[in-house]
A and B are shown apart, each in its own frame.
Chain A
Amino acid sequence: SQQGEEDPQALSIQEGENATMNCSYKTSINNLQWYRQNSGRGLVHLILIRSNEREKHSGRLRVTLDTSKKSSSLLITASRAADTASYFCATAPMNRDDKIIFGKGTRLHILP
């Protein structure tokens, strides 16, 4: 089963623009994580935000979390060609701290 649902499913933007992806989930969580998957390569962990945090930054990444709306957003600023990838949110359910559940992902394409 998949708890998180990313929106949009696919996104194309010009290099240098900002990219925003959203994730909605159904049940209460301990934390929410974002992963990136390049074509033909494995998943890479980007950032984790705890349920008691509202915003977190890492380099060009900014993640927000709204537990009242059960949603999160990932913002990538000043996009680069290398940011072309699929991005997945993964949630750790409140009653299960030992595993994470992935959404279906957003496919991001950066146009040169």
Chain B
Amino acid sequence: GAGVSQTPSNKVTEKGKYVELRCDPISGHTALYWYRQSLGQGPEFLIYFQGTGAADDSGLPNDRFFAVRPEGSVSTLKIQRTERGDSAVYLCASSFLQSSYNEQFFGPGTRLTVL
């Protein structure tokens, strides 16, 4: 079956602009996670959803970052007033349930470059 997909694969934007990154999880997976990965680092947790609600958004760096999952499937990560430090690969993952014992399936990521 189809895996986790993310669009766009690459996004180049200018400092101060607004961007949206989209994640399509595996059908039937109730938990959805967003991570950010900088060069040479491991994925850094941002936020996760159980169904439509954000169960934990403690990893969002500041209030410029926001994510939604209105119908419990597709999720959008929104970044306002982008800064050069936001440049990274943004990864999305989904799992059948929110338990850590359930394997997370990752998408290929969106590479965001803020000029």
Contact = CB atoms under 8 A, between A and B. Distances in A.
A42 B91 contact: yes
B55 A98 contact: yes
B76 interface: no
Interface size class of A (residues with CB under 8 A): 20 to 34
Interface stretch (B64-72, B80-88, B97-105): B97-105
B1 interface: no
A2 interface: yes
A42 B108 contact: yes
B44 interface: yes
B61 to A, nearest CB: 12
Contacts of A48: 101, 103
B104 A88 contact: no
Interface string A62-73: 000000000000
Given A30-B100, A48-B101, A101 B91 contact: no
B4 to A, nearest CB: 8
A100 B104 contact: yes
Nearest to B50: A98
Contact of A45 (B43, B45, B56, B104): B104
A13 to B, nearest CB: 20
Given A88-B42, A104-B41, A98 B108 contact: no
Interface of A: 1-2, 4, 30-31, 33, 40-45, 48, 88, 90, 92, 96-105
26 contacts: A2-B41, A2-B42, A4-B42, A31-B100, A31-B101, A33-B100, A42-B4, A42-B91, A43-B43, A43-B93, A43-B106, A45-B103, A48-B101, A88-B42, A88-B43, A96-B100, A97-B100, A98-B48, A99-B33, A99-B100, A100-B104, A102-B44, A102-B45, A103-B42, A104-B40, A104-B41
Interface of B: 4, 31, 33, 35, 40-45, 48, 50, 55-56, 91, 93, 98-101, 103-109
7 nearest A-B pairs in the assembled complex, by CB-CB distance: A92-B100, A102-B42, A42-B106, A43-B106, A45-B103, A98-B98, A102-B43
